[in-house]
Structure 1
């Protein structure tokens, strides 16, 4: 008879305490590493759908829900990230990004080669 792998029965007590927190944290870290890591709230890869694709210049760039600094950032973008932007939509020095109310400091973005922004 071959050795069998025995899976412990999951009970409510299995999901309590620091052991569960450690296990959940390890699993989430593994998923983040496999998916490329980084924090990019609400950011999809650039598709070029608008004809204006921008590249992030600083290490971190705040994304805001309005064209100004009055509200807290809703996310960040990392250096080298390419994002789609609306053509010619710049208000108060902030460029409108695609995907809802998303604005980033225009001077921290550069048009990618072949883009018309």
Structure 2
């Protein structure tokens, strides 16, 4: 239901190709929320989440939540290097999250190395 509701919001914000709305932070926020909703679905819709989150980041490159969700989606997709890059961007957008980002990066690197050794 959440994805469906947010899809209608995204559609409303992009209809008629209104330049102000298409590049708006409101659209970026709706895309971030929809991407997060895609990841909450079991099984997760990672491809759809990444499509939405990449559009949101194109609109608002300093949206910390977008970078954090991108990191989660990339990790679910098995793209550990891209997840690390997203975490670095998250910490740049939200400097107060630097310590948490470093812990997450360490966890990803350990997870990646154990995945490669299998």
How does the TM-score come out when normalised to structure 2?
A: 0.29
More helix per residue: 1 or 2?
A: 2
More strand per residue: 1 or 2?
A: 1
How does the TM-score come out when normalised to structure 1?
A: 0.29
- Larger Rg, first or second structure (1 or 2): 1
